[in-house]
Amino acid sequence: MTDTQDDILLLAVALSSAALASFIEDENVHKEAPQERFIRPCLSYVAFLNLQQDLLPDGGNRIIYDTFRMGAHELEQLICMSSKYISRHLPQKQVVCVALHWLASGASAGAQEQFFLDPSYSTIHHYRHIGMNALLRALTENGFYGGDINESSRIKKSSAQFEAQEPSLKGCVGAIDGTHVPIVVSKALADRYRNRKGMTSTNVLGVVDWDGSFLAVYPGAEGCASDVFVLSHCTEFLSKIPANCFYLGDAGYGLTMNILTPYRSTRYHLREWADEGDGRPNNPREIFNYRHSKSRIIVEQAFGMLKRKWTILGKPLELELNAACRVIHTCCALHNYVIACKSSVVESEDTNPDIDDIDDDIPASLSQLYEIEDRMHTRATAWRDSISQELWTSFNSL
């Protein structure tokens, strides 16, 4: 052998020895920390899900929750529900897992390709949309999302829950709010979708019940649109609010007999009460705003939980607008599913809200329309004032 060949042979032996030593050391680490063994991309994630889960601490439930935002049992149920909407020629479990992981993490296709190992880059994109559509269909058809917002049992239950916390809000069946989801649009649409922070987004209106589940979601509005403008275009929702019922909204929405809003120029948010003075209301308007804020906070919490769990909503969606709206709907449906799996709420007794019905007559002229709007606003203001006075009287009697 020549000197060059000897050097090559020695180098090969050294590399082999180092690799063997590393393998032995790695095996010892795995014995001490069995959970670590399956976090590494040594096999596809779906193959991991098919392993004996008793090999891992907590049955691997912690890993599954961190990855898919739900426990192992809920994940298996969801896969079972969704598989019927996915072709049998595709790996149904893997398709659902790819879509869920994408929605939960907002990971790029390249990152998912490394995470799942098996699919190619283009296959990942294909699985995302097939899985997302299957999830949305399954959750919709199984009653977790998109049902009748005015279903009698739902109205009674939500009304009773609000009244139990705040008797003065008798007839309240939910809360509404808007949030911005960042999206990427063409240059031609950029100005319309640019919000006040300078980013392009869609303004999403959400309607939630006492449990924080989304009863209805309306995405797709331009980022420059105000919340009240978005609400005014949700005519189907507004026209079908049951008589004697109402929703809580912030001061950005107009006060009506269907949308109860707080007083302007009066402290409102709970953090304002903690930061100012002794935290006690000083007049009827303040006590009303305080109680209103305590009840309406459920919609803010719902959007906060939604964006924390399904982090794709915090990143600009590089999708067509219709596809971006489907992503938002699917995340809201998954939000409802997770809440329903944890819910043990007992049906409440019937309640009979005593708010007067609203005149549904269509005005014959524009002047009549303005007259009716003024009359309704006056009526709604008197209603709100009566609630605030009732709360103030009750507060002072304690």
Summarised one tens digit per residue, pLDDT across range 2-54 is 555 555 455 544 444 544 444 444 444 444 444 433 343 444 556 655 654 55
What is the pTM assigned to this prediction? 0.77
242-290 pLDDT per residue, tens = 988 999 999 889 899 999 999 987 877 666 655 566 667 778 888 888 8
Residue 92: pLDDT band with limits 50, 70, 90? very high
Q: pLDDT at residue 109 above 60?
A: yes
- The whole-number pLDDT of residue 320 equals 94
What is the C-alpha separation between 250 and 248, in angstroms, rounded? 7
DSSP summary character for residue 150: T
- Give long-range contacts, CB 8 A cutoff, 24+ apart: 189-193: 191/224, 192/222, 192/223, 192/224, 193/222, 193/223, 193/224
Q: For the residues 371-394, what does the mean pLDDT come to? A: 70
Mean pLDDT calculated for residue range 180-189 = 94
Structure-derived torsion over alpha carbons of residues 206, 207, 209, 215, reported in degrees to the nearest 10: -90
For residues 56 and 34, the answer to whether their CB atoms sit within 8 Å is yes
248: its two tokens: 């809580």
Express each pLDDT in 202-241 by its tens digit: 999 999 999 999 999 999 999 999 999 999 999 888 888 9
Q: What is the mean pLDDT of the chain?
A: 79
Whether residue 315 contacts residue 183, with contact meaning beta carbons closer than 8 Å, is answered with no
Range with the poorest average pLDDT among 88-97, 291-300, 306-315, 365-374: 365-374
Could you give the CA distance from residue 86 to residue 43 in angstroms, rounded to a whole number? 24
pLDDT for res 382: 81
At 330 the pLDDT is: 98
